[in-house]
Structure 1
Amino acid sequence: MSKAKSGCTSEHDEGEGARKHDCVLQYYLSGFTRNHDKNSRLYVVDSARERAFVATPQSVVAEREFNRIELNGEDPCTADLGYAQFESELASALARINRKRDLSDDADRALVLRLIAELVVLNPDRTEIMRQHKQESARRLSELAIANRQGWESQKEKAAAAGIEGAAAFTHEELMNFVEQDDETIAAHTTEHLARDLQSVTTLYNLLHRRSWMVARAARGSGGFITSDRPVTLTWDDMEMEAGFYAPGFGLQGTSVFFPLTKDLVMRGRFDGRVGTLALPAASVAGINSRTVFYAGHQIYAETESFRFLDEYLVMRRGQDLLPMLQRSG
């Protein structure tokens, strides 16, 4: 990403040395508040600090330095995501999309895809989270594969069909050696491949642009959608693949990208040609919120504590139940 004049401002609190950035993410997070305003309030669940609290989008961005990055030794403030032109254009696009409830405008959709690409690239620990998750999944699949050669061959075929290089060449015997030697390099390989795919915002933007995008609306009374400090999620569509050895990639067939756009709307991108809008009942909204919770870093953001999600037993729960559950699981 080229260096641009930033539209952000910085203030230094002498007590804590906090930097406050007036950036594009304030506009994004404001879509999850009651009034769609950066000075309105969000309900925040922070698993690291083990507490839930109310804050404004402005204070959330300032505290977490949500979008600070290092580019070739440059001051992160000068390389901030929220430079003025993009900030202004995206804010208008988000307002129009939320009003129209669709992504039919090509220019507005392009701005949101750029936001998604930058959110992914500017999360430096994303690949580590993916590596840990997929390594654990790989271990479980490996045990199954040793017991069931046919199941392993089935997943290899799916991975090769999705476009994963070298999937078909990885034999059952090699997998057995991997498990016996406790070799972690294979699990890491897929995420290293993903990291190479994310070398630039432009590369990822082009991959996202190839997908077909639908917008889903949360039904009234559902509690709405939530977002997080890692709002973009990438999953396999096939449940066996999602629980298995191979990590998904943004350019691979059979995968879905989910992005909560506002408290009322969520985007889903696939390589299936499907576009348009649909309405989701409370149970489906809760399922998408559960995915957001699973892939989050430390913070979840919602309009109120009344949002809904599914627990590990697929029972629908309210937002006020999330922090106690995270504390127990931690």
Structure 2
Amino acid sequence: MFETTPRNVGGIRDFNKIEIAGFAPNYIETNLSAIEGPAASPINKLQENQDFSGETKNNLIMLMAMLGARSPQQREHIDSQLSEIPEKIMKMMVSSEERYDSVIENDYKTAEKSELIDYEKMKELVNSDNYNVSLTQEFLIKLELKMMQEIEIQLHKRNWILTKSTAESGEYITSDKPVSLVWKKLVGINPYSPGYGLLETTVYFPITKNLALLGTFDDLQNQSDFLLSDAIREFVANLNTLFIHNCYDYIYTSKTKNFFYYSKNNQMELGSGILK
């Protein structure tokens, strides 16, 4: 446990830097700031009037989409998954000399013979695993921006509940994975990962230490959005426990550490106990 500033734990150097002709290296960073910056005002308004609608809703959903699609851990995961595809293709290509010759003949017709590697040398290289396949940062950023658009569409389709903590219930915490997407039914193990467009899922997002959003496709009393105020302690503790289990490496709380969660033995405990 340590005290620090958001900058010290929430920033990674050159995470949004690009190298594309005609664009400044900080082009993405500048444009994403246009999403992060306007979110501060709606959050303040939401704390004052608990009205999750209109521009406030639009800005916060855009922020959720960005946080859901973009993180260092998410990027590393996508990079590792997609990088396996060309590796598998190369191994298939050198599985036989006939297959290799066929690929060369079809895909490298205009190449000079001196530029080509013979089958045995290529097979030795591929099977040695003495190489790395990685995706460019520009490609990964482009993919993340497309994911943001799709996530935002699905978030707008959901119905939202705004929950408000109290002095009795304790505060909400957050983490380095602030947007939690989970299956509604936690009994049993679903073999598939939840998706933002799947019906039997819920999205949880702690906005501040006192406010959290729940997004579902369920019909909420025939209203598109409504306020569930004064959340009880058990409810807040359950959400905090979810945020703890769903984080990558870190959870974040206010200096008071006035939050509750459920320990491994299913006992409700005060947050100061976990932060020792």
The answer to whether the Cα contact below 8 Å between 1:311 and 1:317 also exists between their aligned partners in 2 is yes
Q: Note if 1:219 corresponds to 2:166.
A: yes
Matched ranges for 1:1-330 at <5 A: 52-61=1-10, 64-65=11-12, 68-69=15-16, 77-80=26-29, 83-103=32-52, 105-126=53-74, 199-240=146-187, 243-274=189-220, 275-278=225-228, 279-303=230-254, 304-323=256-275
In angstroms, what is the RMSD of aligned CA positions?
Answer: 2.8
Task: In structure 2, give the amino acid aligned to 1:321.
Answer: G
Choose 249-258 or 231-240, whichever is displaced more.
231-240
Q: Distance in 2 between matches of 1:66 and 1:209?
A: 32
- Runs of 5+ unmatched residues, structure 1: 1-51, 131-195, 325-330
Larger Rg belongs to = 2
Q: Which runs of 5+ in 2 are unaligned?
A: 79-142
Q: Is the 8 A contact 2:18 2:27 kept in 1?
A: no
Over residues 45-83 of structure 1, what are the superposed CA-to-partner deviations in whole Å (9 max), with x where a residue is unaligned?
A: xxxxxxx1112334433xx42993355667774422775
Q: 1:69, 1:122 within 8 Å by CA — same for their partners in 2?
A: no
Q: What amino acid does structure 2 have at the position aligned with 1:117?
A: A
CA separation of 1:66 and 1:300: change in aligned 2, threshold 3 A = farther
Contact residue 163 and residue 213 of structure 2 kept, 8 A: yes
Q: How many residues align?
A: 204
Cα distance 1:283–1:83, how it changes in 2: closer, same or farther (>3 A)? same
Q: Helix, strand or coil: the match of 1:215?
A: strand
Q: Does the CA-based 8 Å contact 2:70-2:144 persist in structure 1?
A: no
Check conservation: 2:36, 2:63, Cα contact below 8 A: no
User: How far off is 1:266 after superposition?
Assistant: 0.5
The question of whether the paired residues in 1 share the 8 Å contact of 2:202 and 2:214 is answered with yes
Tell me how far apart the structure 1 counterparts of residues 231 and 207 of structure 2 sit (CA, whole Å): 14
Cα distance in 1 for partners of 2:41, 2:271 equals 30
Q: Contact 1:211 / 1:270 at 8 angstroms: preserved in 2?
A: yes
Distance 1:210 1:81 in 2: 28
CA deviation vs aligned residue, 1:286-312 (integer Å, no higher than 9, x gap): 110010111111111111223111112
Measured at CA, do residues 71 and 277 of structure 1 come closer, stay the same or move farther in structure 2, by a change above 3 Å? farther
Q: Secondary structure at the match of 2:265?
A: coil
**How much identity, in percent, do the aligned residues show?**
27
Contact 1:67 1:81 in 2 (8 A): no
Distance 1:239 1:299 in 2: 23
Change (3 A) 1:300 1:77: farther
Q: State the shift of 1:226 in Å.
A: 0.5
TM-score by length of 1: 0.55
